[in-house]
């Protein structure tokens, strides 16, 4: 690395947050495809795709952490086992899934 490195401050986004939000709103409304929005607004296809899907950026979808904890909890599986052993889960399964 250079001894006297000076960071470049000229790296700015080619689009504004308002443009991005407008493009995402149109995509979610179904009036325009992701590809057409990327061409029209000058935003990369990957950015629009990931922001729409919720895998990148400030517009992420929040995962249900409580449900994940419940599924991996030892106590949850113990209760589930007791319910199954007593026949409660079988009756619930027959009621909802025939």
Mean pLDDT of 53-66: 60
Residue, of 88 and 69, whose pLDDT is higher: 88
The overall average pLDDT reported for the chain is: 76
pLDDT of 30 above 80: yes
pLDDT band at 18 (very low <50, low <70, confident <90, very high): very high
Q: What is the pTM of this model?
A: 0.49
Same domain, 21 and 57: yes
d(C-alpha 45, C-alpha 41), whole Å: 10
Domain annotation covers residue 6: no
Could you tell me the end-to-end alpha-carbon distance of the chain, in angstroms, rounded to an integer? 68
Domain annotation covers residue 3: no
Q: Domain total for the chain?
A: 2
Extract long-range pairs of 64-73: CB within 8 Å, 24+ residues apart.
none
Nearest to 80 by CA among 67, 98, 88, 65: 88
* Domain hosting residue 26, numbered range: 15-61
Mean pLDDT of 53-80: 64
Same domain, 74 and 48: no
């Amino acid at each position: 690395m250079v001894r006297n490195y000076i960071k470049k401050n000229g790296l700015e986004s080619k689009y504004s947050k308002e443009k991005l939000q407008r493009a995402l709103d149109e995509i979610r409304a179904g009036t325009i495809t992701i590809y057409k929005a990327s061409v029209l607004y000058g935003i990369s296809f990957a950015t629009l795709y990931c922001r729409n899907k919720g895998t990148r950026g400030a517009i992420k979808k929040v995962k249900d952490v409580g449900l994940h904890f419940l599924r991996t909890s030892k106590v949850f599986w113990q209760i589930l086992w007791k319910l199954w052993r007593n026949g409660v889960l079988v009756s619930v399964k027959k009621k909802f899934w025939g």
